[in-house]
Amino acid sequence: MRSSQAGTERVMKLRLEYWEKVKHIDPKNLVFLDETGVLLGLTRTHARSQRGTRAYAVKPFYRGKKVAVIGAISFQRVVALMTIDNSMDSQAFEVFIDKCLVPQLWSGAVDVN
């Protein structure tokens, strides 16, 4: 599916402006950031049983920990990686940027997020 605005004149103009800005960036200098969360206490949703029988289980209320994972990669390597207990917040993001990512960047690196 595509957005109903994807083919509008405004969006096409914005795309052209974007490509004019980025067309001279060496792909080797691109650094991509992403963040995800992992719930450690999830219960399996599928099971196996003997042919002709059903698999039954008690599904406990979620009690596990959460872990947030944030990382940055380039085309050559993993640039930076950090995990924290619980959810990502602005303070944790600042720590990642200041302590993990910036010291690993090189002259000409471009953050894509």
- CATH at 56: 3.30.420.10
Considering the domain boundaries, does residue 86 fall inside one? yes
Q: Which residues contact 44 (CB under 8 A, 6 or more apart)?
A: 57
Q: Which two tokens stand for residue 37?
A: 């969360």
Considering the domain boundaries, does residue 12 fall inside one? no
Name the stretches of the chain with pLDDT < 50. Answer: none
Considering the domain boundaries, does residue 104 fall inside one? yes
Considering the domain boundaries, does residue 19 fall inside one? no
Considering the domain boundaries, does residue 93 fall inside one? yes
- The whole-angstrom separation of Cα 19 and Cα 23 is 6
The pLDDT value recorded for residue 62 is: 64
Kindly report the pTM of this predicted structure. Answer: 0.72
Instruction: Look at the block and give the residue holding tokens 């450690």.
Output: 40
The pLDDT value recorded for residue 46 is: 85
Considering the domain boundaries, does residue 107 fall inside one? yes
